[in-house]
Amino acid sequence: FYDEAEARKYTQNSRVVEIQSQMSERAVELLGLPEDRPCLLLDVGCGSGLSGDYISEEGHYWIGMDISPAMLDVAVEREVEGDLLLADVGHGIPFRPGMFDGCISISAVQWLCNADKKSHSPPKRLYRFFSTLYTALARGSRAVLQLYPENSEQLELITAQAMRAGFTGGMVVDYPNSAKAKKFFLCLFVGTSGTLPKGLGTECGTEELQQAKFTNERTRFRNVKGKSVKKSRDWILEKKERRRRQGKEVRPDTKYTGRKRRPHF
C-alpha cells in the first residue's frame, strides 16, 4: 500500500497524471457510452481520483473503489466529484444489480493475481470480482480494464475468469508493435456479444478480424475439458490465438493449419 507521502507524490507527478489521463480517456472511449445522457460509472482501483477527474470532465457520475486508505485520503483532499469506497475488489463488488452503466479500471486488475495472504487464491479472487461486477453492470453495458500483465499466463488467467463469470469480449491491444506505447485493455460485454473495438496503431482490417474471432472462439476453447492434445489442430490454434493477444505477428489460420505433412524419402 502507499503511505500518505507516496500517495501525494504519485498524484502530483505530472508524467503520472498525463499517462493516467490518456488511459482514462481511451478506456471511456472504449466503453461506447451514449452521447445524449450522463452515465453512472464504476472506477475499480480509483486511487486518488485521477481517472475520475476525466469521467467528471466528460459529464458522467462515478463511484470509485480502492484498497489503499492513503490514496483515498488524497482523493478526499483533492475534493473529487465521485463517491469513494475503501474495499478490496477481490472480495467482490458490493452494489445492487444493474446499477452501473459501465466500469473502467486503470492499472489495477493485475494485482488480483498476487497472493498477498496465505488464504488468497488468485483464480477465486478474480472470479469473485468478475462475477459480482457482471451483476452490478446494466445489461448491454461494458467494462474496460486497462492492465499490465506480467506474462501471457497471467493474461490467460484474467481473461478465463472473466469469461467464466459470463462476460464476452477480449483483449484490445493498442500499439502492439511498440515496447513503450503498448497497452492492454480487457474489453468486456454484459449480456450482449459485440464486436471488439480496433486497437490503436494496428494494421487496418486484419487485427479487427482477429479480435472479433477471439470473441466467438473463446467459448469453444473454454468448453474443452482438460487441455488439448499437444500438436493437435486445436492446440496449435489456441497457441496462435494467445500469441495474437500478446500483439505478436502470427500467420493466418487456414484449412492447412495443423495438418501433418507427408514423410519425405
pLDDT in tens, the chain (265 residues): 556 667 667 667 778 788 888 999 999 999 999 988 999 999 999 999 999 999 999 999 999 999 999 999 999 999 999 999 999 999 999 999 999 999 999 999 999 998 666 667 899 999 999 999 999 999 999 999 999 988 888 999 999 999 999 999 999 999 998 888 899 999 999 987 678 888 888 764 444 434 443 444 444 444 444 556 667 777 788 778 877 777 778 888 887 787 777 766 5
Q: The domain containing residue 141 runs over which residues? A: 4-190
236 shares a domain with 184:
no
Cβ-based neighbours of 134, under 8 Å, separated by 6 or more: 165, 166, 167, 190
> Is 221 part of a structural domain of the chain?
no
99 shares a domain with 12:
yes
186 shares a domain with 256:
no
Q: Report the side by side order of strands in the sheet with 61-66.
A: 83-86, 61-66, 40-44, 100-106, 137-147, 183-189, 168-174
Rounded to whole angstroms, the Cα distance separating 146 from 22 reads 11
In 3-state terms, what secondary structure has residue 130? helix
234 shares a domain with 186:
no
**Total domains in the fold of the chain:** 2
> Is 121 part of a structural domain of the chain?
yes
